[in-house]
Structure 1
Amino acid sequence: MNNYLCDYCDQKLATMPITLPCGFVVCLDHLDIKYNSFNCIVCYNHIIDFEKCLNMPKNKFNFKNFETQIYIDPLYTNNNFLELKNRYDKWNKLSYYQINLSSNLKSRLFYFELLPNGEIIGSSDSLIKIWDLKTGNVIKTFRGHSSNAHNAKILKNGNILSSSADLTIKIWQRETEKCLLTLTGHTDWVNCVVELPNSFICSSSDDHTIKVWDLEKQLCLMTLQGHNNYVHRIALSGENELVSASADRTLKIWNLTTGECIRTLIGHQNWLHRFDILNNGDIISCSDDKTVKLWDKASGKCKHTFTGHNDSVLHVKIFDNREVISCCKDGNVKIWDLNTGECIRSFRAHEPSLSGIFIVNNKQFLTSSYEHTIRIWNL
């Protein structure tokens, strides 16, 4: 469509093309959508009913297949023109600023988080590092894991928590970079760690289990068993509840007081990687089956399946409580409307695969690649 000229401005069609009832094609930006009816801007021989114009088959097709993949519901009502225009503008103005984190280029950035002070913590091969986000320079390096570190977090007391393919969990003193404690007990890679109240932490592993640890006593208090494959991610969903995602294609909700599985969410057709939890407790998950699913926590049923990715979906996050950001193995990112399940925007975020995503606020989010690039996306 970019090879055609707008019949109004005689320039290349730079935005969404709209075919008018008289047959002329113009850029959407030229139409004054504050009013449902207005004079044709090209031939002046008829009145354009904007709602009927947008529902013409050619325009509905263009909206759904426009090159930026903005999707607008093909059935319009009189009160939603400005809302549709605002959403279109919002995601088409998406821009980013790139930070290159200084590191060994042969290493891979497996995981990262943005800290409250604006620094980045991440796992790079067997090392845990903290970078200055403004300069990309390494501030701290924690050495001690003997294999790839999969997860790293800051504890409330300021210490660093990490997990690794060396089967261990480590606690580090931030200032001295010294290892304070090593927890052993898992029999396979430790993929994820989360902090619980009262100096407890929780870990998930390729050994199919989840463990609850007392850091003060340096003991495993409880082992949660129920998954029959790798447990990739865990997260708190309440004071005494934990959600886990596994390669056994299920999500599980656990009672941390009793260690019992409360509910199992079944529906994905391949490994689950990550999930996010909505304010109402519902869960959004992503999988190697190329889909994203929205789950009702209370019933355990899938409320909607988001389809459109062409490869494994490795990351998913809720944005601004109304949109879903999903990141694909091929480097593509999709923005979905949480309520309708429709894709609002698709774009290539990194070359090659993305290694993580972090939501800053309702105007910004961060993505990372294995090659230590961080992109700060602004709306």
Structure 2
Amino acid sequence: MEVEAAAAGVAMEEERELSNRVMCQLKDSEGTPLGAPIFLPESAGPKELQQLVNKLLNNEEKMPYAFYVSDHELVVQLGSYLQKNKVSVEKVITIVYQPQAVFRIRPVTRCSSTIAGHMEAVLSVAFSPDGRQLASGSGDTTVRLWDLSTQTPLFTCKGHKNWVLSIAWSPDGKHLVSGSKAGELICWDPQTGKPSGNPLVGHKKWITGISWEPVHLSAPCRRFVSASKDGDARIWDVTLRKCVICLTGHTLAITCVKWGGDGIIYTGSQDCTIKMWETSQGKLIRELKGHGHWVNSLALSTEYVLRTGAFDHTGKQYSSPEEMKKVALERYNKMKGSAPERLVSGSDDFTMFLWEPAVSKHPKTRMTGHQQLVNHVYFSPDGLWIASASFDKSVKLWNGTTGNFVAAFRGHVGPVYQISWSADSRLLLSGSKDSTLKVWDIRTQKLKQDLPGHADEVFAVDWSPDGEKVASGGKDKVLKLWMG
């Protein structure tokens, strides 16, 4: 009798044990399963999952990971998460693991300096790839370079005859190019603030975008592409000081341009199309169609490593272009992994499309939810998220692999003009017509910091690649630097 009771007790205990376990399937962000589905105790949390994933991946160095169940981060024990979100344990729970940056960026909390100097609105700001220098372009026709150690003006670069609309650093940090409303481009030496040669002329209307050839494809950096309202994109060689290829085919203004990591140039236009060009002869490879109105903004999943080249948060400097090229290629390959480079486009039609342009001319998914035009789209540095800024006053967060909607960040009371990510992909910055900057926390999906201080609309924001500083500029003609 006792033996039977004991056996029944053991059986019940085993049943209880099993009922406290959940069948889970671990997958990476591309949807590739990590082994077979396994039973996990309900008491398992991020710490236990971290140990498990590192073990299953045979990581010699333990990597930090974040875990997601249907795009929501798991920050508690599995059981309480499933209970709170009423997730059925009848079927297999998919847990997506995503590697996190080993370093952490502190959120910016205060304005460290307000630098006057520009006589008109600041229209663009950009940190150099190593985060040591900052450039701004203004309606006063000048480009300014700022010394970040003293937070004072370094050089005022004069030469443009009209508003400076666009600026871009070469990924090796050796050149800065600016484009104006008159259509000319000037290449500057950041060490002296002097132009390296005459203005580059060819465009008939204003410059809408500039993008450099990635350093892992060519070092030292020589070529960049410019897009213009005249409907053409032009590839320039800064050593030869001339336009080497003209990309013609759009029927209306080109609004944005990106030079991809595989050597393909993407142009988005008011003719509702995105065109892909090869860069040896400038042949059109493919057209991406789907938008019902102007394409305003393009972003690549690899953009952060393309922009920073060989530079990372450690601040390492390089002695030769060859070394730079090698490190940049390693960083690019590691970032890209086995997945194709992804492209996201934002439009006046209120929608966005996610593309895998090397794979298909059809969009992977259509992303809807904004109530007004989408002004700016941007992938997080790790490629796992997409952020979008809209005239509907909201910033939205999407899954960077599937394009699924994740969260809406509300708080701005005017159109959001520009967004920028922290280097660790944990924080997002937005600048708005309402004169404020806001920092959003990706994990909690809430406002982390409200940064008032500008006297008028904020047109341009950038987070330095080393994560230390944020720069903003706008209608009040001042440049502000923000720190943690």
TM-score normalised according to structure 1 size: 0.68
Q: Alpha-carbon deviation of 1:127?
A: 2.0
Structure 1 pair 224/372, CA: closer, same or farther in 2 (3 Å)? farther
Structure 1 pair 365/342, CA: closer, same or farther in 2 (3 Å)? closer
Q: Deviations over 1:280-306 (max 9, x none)?
A: 522111001111111124553322211
Percent of pairs identical after alignment?
25
Matched, 1:117 2:173: yes
Hey, what does 2:428 align to over in structure 1? 324
Hey, what does 1:129 align to over in structure 2? 186
Q: Pick the structure with more strand per residue.
A: 1
Instruction: Look up the equivalent residue of 1:287 and give its one-letter code.
Output: S
Root-mean-square deviation (CA, aligned residues, Å) is 2.9
Instruction: Look up the equivalent residue of 1:189 and give its one-letter code.
Output: A
What does 1:1-379 correspond to in 2, within 5 Å? 91-92=109-110, 94-95=112-113, 97=151, 99=153, 101-103=156-158, 107-115=162-170, 116-117=172-173, 119-125=175-181, 126-133=183-190, 136-139=193-196, 141-156=199-214, 157=218, 158-197=222-261, 199-237=263-301, 239-256=340-357, 257-278=359-380, 279=382, 281-319=384-422, 320-340=424-444, 341-349=446-454, 353-355=458-460, 357=462, 359-369=464-474, 377-379=482-484
Unpaired runs of 5+ residues, structure 2, are 1-104, 115-150, 302-335
Q: Deviations over 1:232-291 (max 9, x none)?
A: 111222634211111111111112122111111111111111122122522111001111
Distance in structure 2 (CA, Å) of the matches to 1:322 and 1:112: 26
Distance in structure 2 (CA, Å) of the matches to 1:223 and 1:280: 23
Q: Deviations over 1:301-324 (max 9, x none)?
A: 322211121221111111142221
Q: Alpha-carbon deviation of 1:108?
A: 2.1
Q: Alpha-carbon deviation of 1:178?
A: 1.1
Distance in structure 2 (CA, Å) of the matches to 1:190 and 1:161: 12
Give the conservation status (yes or no) of the 8 Å contact 1:101–1:131.
Answer: no
Distance in structure 2 (CA, Å) of the matches to 1:214 and 1:160: 13
Give the conservation status (yes or no) of the 8 Å contact 1:323–1:337.
Answer: yes
Structure 1 residues 350-359 or 328-337, which shifts more? 350-359
Q: Alpha-carbon deviation of 1:346?
A: 1.3
Distance in structure 2 (CA, Å) of the matches to 1:357 and 1:231: 22
Distance in structure 2 (CA, Å) of the matches to 1:243 and 1:272: 12
Instruction: Look up the equivalent residue of 1:192 and give its one-letter code.
Output: C
Distance in structure 1 (CA, Å) of the matches to 2:477 and 2:239: 23
Q: Deviations over 1:320-374 (max 9, x none)?
A: 4222110113543222222231141313357554245353321023444589976
Structure 1 residues 286-295 or 115-124, which shifts more? 115-124
Distance in structure 1 (CA, Å) of the matches to 2:176 and 2:385: 28
Distance in structure 1 (CA, Å) of the matches to 2:251 and 2:397: 32
Q: Deviations over 1:151-210 (max 9, x none)?
A: 112213321210000100101110242111111100111111112355421111111000
Q: Which has the higher contact order (CA 8 A, sep 6+)?
A: 2
Distance in structure 1 (CA, Å) of the matches to 2:277 and 2:193: 34
TM-score normalised according to structure 2 size: 0.55
Give SS of 1:145's match: coil
Distance in structure 1 (CA, Å) of the matches to 2:298 and 2:158: 28
Q: Deviations over 1:29-53 (max 9, x none)?
A: xxxxxxxxxxxxxxxxxxxxxxxxx
Distance in structure 1 (CA, Å) of the matches to 2:402 and 2:264: 29
Distance in structure 1 (CA, Å) of the matches to 2:295 and 2:174: 30
Distance in structure 2 (CA, Å) of the matches to 1:155 and 1:222: 19
Give the conservation status (yes or no) of the 8 Å contact 2:110–2:483.
Answer: no
Structure 1 pair 359/252, CA: closer, same or farther in 2 (3 Å)? farther
Q: Deviations over 1:52-87 (max 9, x none)?
A: xxxxxxxxxxxxxxxxxxxxxxxxxxxxxxxxxx97
Instruction: Look up the equivalent residue of 1:91 and give its one-letter code.
Output: T
Q: Pick the structure with more helix per residue.
A: 2
Distance in structure 2 (CA, Å) of the matches to 1:273 and 1:251: 10
Structure 1 pair 92/369, CA: closer, same or farther in 2 (3 Å)? closer
Q: How many residues of Structure 1 are paired with residues of Structure 2 in the alignment?
A: 293
Distance in structure 2 (CA, Å) of the matches to 1:370 and 1:123: 19
Q: Alpha-carbon deviation of 1:221?
A: 1.3
